[in-house]
Chain A
């Protein structure tokens, strides 16, 4: 564990209090209280339109808050941007953009480089290592449009790894990827946890929640339940989150 600057109990990785977010006067999240423990792998699950993506975008400061507040490692979010790495949804960018895999991964270093500085040899080395971790080192010079969906996802993950942050927020990294990519991502998640990092993942597949994650947040516009998987991930809570439409997937898993 990292030493805690304040001495006492380690602060929470992220603390969200009374968070309300509205798009065009339509509330998407209502008064959500939730906290994320340091060093844990946490899944955010809930039906479509439950506000899962909005929750992590609100934490990242990408959407305006109607009310409530967010603390990251006990600090105001603006003061903690370099502590947080972000893996957006794969479909959020244009993969026909003229750039190479290595170049894309290097974008993860821009936050700390400062104005006018270009990434140098040190940054390239780190990007190479990150690509190795996700098994994409052979593709470094490849143009990004030539990647498969799973490869795109792993490159996005590598970009977050070079951010060298303490908290990782990932938006549906398992969505539509091949088995090999899924394994690679899970391995990276476990390694991050082993090094004391916090990982928060918007997740769709209920059958893998118990296998991959320590904690879970069930969300449907408001927080339904949260806590360790074995306590919070109950049939009762799932029914509350998904209404009558409890996905059959869980009984299969």
Chain B
């Protein structure tokens, strides 16, 4: 472990957290793929800005690239607004066009210059420590660490200041508008934040892997919690851990650091998808097995209640009938009945006739009331 490696890991973690925070709102607002569109088309802004000022480190480049990001959002909305193409197609039309122009321009004028196609896709996080930020001859660390740190701070500040507005316009746009927050203003303000973040991260991890950092950690966090503040914190944590783990995997296999970081966010998502305490696949499967019997017991009570005193009660309330009509295997029906008897919901009369107990009747009524009135 040397200083360069430490600096790369620090930068990776800062980039990942800075991406994950606005990513939370992108995922919740069902605009995840806007990150894909923005992260591609900012390349055009970088190229044009570079042709203009001739220096890749110039702050104007960040401005130009951010502007193209916001322009992408506006173009998608314009195209969709003509009602001639659907929104998904509008996204899929806008960014490839802008990205193509950028690639052609690079090939035309920037050949041999620092802007090469590999950098566009892979980012240059491995070289970041070699570009230092110096002030009065004093080495203050890698320049991109300052830039990304600034963007992270900006994200924290913006989300902190406008938390209420963002939250409200995400979950209830109508209410937000009626309270006087302009949804358009919030939307474009937020998209500017996404664009700035994408521009900063682009330098480190390239255009496509920005999408992984923005989407995968928030999606994983969403499977772990229902609360927005927790989701924000978890997203940041998952992103930082994935980034650092990705760095070590990449060093071990001598492979792309950025690609490996993206892969690790995927691993984190798959982990949450499979193992999340309540929503994971394993938990779903366990709950279903448990609920099947509980649910069946309730269904049995409701079934008996529905037929209580009816003309066909004699038939409907027989144990053997259950497997026939409720589509239960005889074995499962026996298990359900046994459990219902133990819970005191039903009693057996004679060999195989079932009667509801008062408790069972109560449970059945309650169960039906609980059934949701609206879809």
Q: Do A and B come from one complex?
A: yes
**Chain B contact residues: helix, strand, loop or mixed:** helix
Given known contacts A30-B302, A33-B306, A67-B299, A18 and B373 CB-to-CB distance under 8 angstroms:
no
Per the bound structure, the CA–CA distance linking A50 and B303 in Å amounts to: 18
- Tell whether A106 is near chain B: CB-to-CB under 8 Å: no
Given known contacts A17-B325, A30-B367, A222 and B373 CB-to-CB distance under 8 angstroms:
no
Can you list 6 A-B contacts with CB-CB less than 8 angstroms, sorted by A residue number?
A: A18-B325, A25-B295, A30-B371, A31-B299, A31-B302, A221-B368
- Indicate if the CB atoms of A26 and B372 lie closer than 8 Å: yes
Within 8 Å CB of B306, what residues of A? 31, 33, 222
Q: 5 closest pairs, A vs B, by CB?
A: A49-B374, A67-B326, A221-B371, A18-B325, A31-B302
- Tell whether A69 is near chain B: CB-to-CB under 8 Å: yes
- Tell whether B351 is near chain A: CB-to-CB under 8 Å: no
Q: Who on chain B is nearest to A33 by CB?
A: B306
Per the bound structure, the CA–CA distance linking A22 and B291 in Å amounts to: 12
- Indicate if the CB atoms of B368 and A49 lie closer than 8 Å: no
- Tell whether A48 is near chain B: CB-to-CB under 8 Å: yes
- Chain A, residues 58-71, CB within 8 Å of chain B (1/0): the string is 00000001111100
- Tell whether B328 is near chain A: CB-to-CB under 8 Å: yes
- Tell whether A47 is near chain B: CB-to-CB under 8 Å: yes
- Tell whether B342 is near chain A: CB-to-CB under 8 Å: no
- Tell whether A28 is near chain B: CB-to-CB under 8 Å: yes
- Indicate if the CB atoms of A68 and B374 lie closer than 8 Å: no
Per the bound structure, the CA–CA distance linking A27 and B303 in Å amounts to: 14
- Indicate if the CB atoms of B375 and A49 lie closer than 8 Å: yes
- Tell whether A42 is near chain B: CB-to-CB under 8 Å: no
- Tell whether B227 is near chain A: CB-to-CB under 8 Å: no
Given known contacts A31-B303, A222-B306, A222-B368, A65 and B327 CB-to-CB distance under 8 angstroms:
yes
Per the bound structure, the CA–CA distance linking A60 and B323 in Å amounts to: 23
Per the bound structure, the CA–CA distance linking A81 and B254 in Å amounts to: 59
Taking a contact as CB atoms closer than 8 A, the residue among B299, B327, B367, B371 that contacts A69 in the complex is B327
Whole-angstrom distance between the Cβ of B330 and the nearest chain A Cβ: 15
- Chain B, residues 279-303, CB within 8 Å of chain A (1/0): the string is 0000000001001000110010011
Tell me the residues in window 47-97 of chain B with beta carbons closer than 8 Å to chain A beta carbons.
none
Q: Who on chain B is nearest to A94 by CB?
A: B86
Per the bound structure, the CA–CA distance linking A31 and B328 in Å amounts to: 14
Per the bound structure, the CA–CA distance linking A69 and B327 in Å amounts to: 7
Taking a contact as CB atoms closer than 8 A, the residue among A17, A28, A67, A68 that contacts B375 in the complex is A28
Per the bound structure, the CA–CA distance linking A49 and B325 in Å amounts to: 25
- Indicate if the CB atoms of A47 and B373 lie closer than 8 Å: yes
Q: Who on chain B is nearest to A220 by CB?
A: B373
User: What bracket does the count of chain A residues touching chain B fall in?
Assistant: 20 to 34
Within 8 Å CB of B326, what residues of A? 18, 20, 67-68
Within 8 Å CB of A69, what residues of B? 325, 327
- Indicate if the CB atoms of A68 and B325 lie closer than 8 Å: yes
Within 8 Å CB of A221, what residues of B? 368, 371, 373
Q: Who on chain B is nearest to A48 by CB?
A: B374
Q: Which residues of A contact B (CB under 8 A)?
A: 17-18, 20, 22-23, 25-28, 30-31, 33, 47-49, 65-69, 221-222
Q: Who on chain B is nearest to A49 by CB?
A: B374
Per the bound structure, the CA–CA distance linking A8 and B296 in Å amounts to: 36
Per the bound structure, the CA–CA distance linking A221 and B299 in Å amounts to: 13
Per the bound structure, the CA–CA distance linking A49 and B375 in Å amounts to: 5
Whole-angstrom distance between the Cβ of B372 and the nearest chain A Cβ: 6
| Known contacts A25-B288, A31-B303, then 13 further A-B pairs from the complex at CB < 8 Å, ordered by chain A residue | A22-B295, A25-B291, A27-B371, A28-B375, A31-B302, A31-B306, A49-B373, A65-B327, A66-B295, A66-B299, A68-B327, A221-B368, A222-B302
Per the bound structure, the CA–CA distance linking A30 and B303 in Å amounts to: 9
Within 8 Å CB of A22, what residues of B? 295
Q: Who on chain B is nearest to A65 by CB?
A: B327
Given known contacts A68-B327, A222-B306, A28 and B374 CB-to-CB distance under 8 angstroms:
no
Within 8 Å CB of B291, what residues of A? 25
Per the bound structure, the CA–CA distance linking A17 and B307 in Å amounts to: 12
- Indicate if the CB atoms of B327 and A67 lie closer than 8 Å: yes
Per the bound structure, the CA–CA distance linking A17 and B312 in Å amounts to: 12
Per the bound structure, the CA–CA distance linking A47 and B373 in Å amounts to: 9
Taking a contact as CB atoms closer than 8 A, the residue among B295, B328, B367, B372 that contacts A49 in the complex is B372
Per the bound structure, the CA–CA distance linking A25 and B306 in Å amounts to: 21
Per the bound structure, the CA–CA distance linking A26 and B291 in Å amounts to: 11
Tell me the residues in window 167-204 of chain B with beta carbons closer than 8 Å to chain A beta carbons.
none
Per the bound structure, the CA–CA distance linking A47 and B326 in Å amounts to: 26
Q: Who on chain B is nearest to A27 by CB?
A: B371
Tell me the residues in window 299-330 of chain B with beta carbons closer than 8 Å to chain A beta carbons.
299, 302-303, 306, 325-328
Within 8 Å CB of B372, what residues of A? 26-28, 49
Within 8 Å CB of B373, what residues of A? 47, 49, 221
- Indicate if the CB atoms of B328 and A67 lie closer than 8 Å: yes
Whole-angstrom distance between the Cβ of B303 and the nearest chain A Cβ: 5
Per the bound structure, the CA–CA distance linking A49 and B368 in Å amounts to: 14
Per the bound structure, the CA–CA distance linking A67 and B323 in Å amounts to: 10
Whole-angstrom distance between the Cβ of A109 and the nearest chain B Cβ: 29
Q: Who on chain A is nearest to B369 by CB?
A: A221
Per the bound structure, the CA–CA distance linking A169 and B145 in Å amounts to: 64
Per the bound structure, the CA–CA distance linking A28 and B370 in Å amounts to: 10
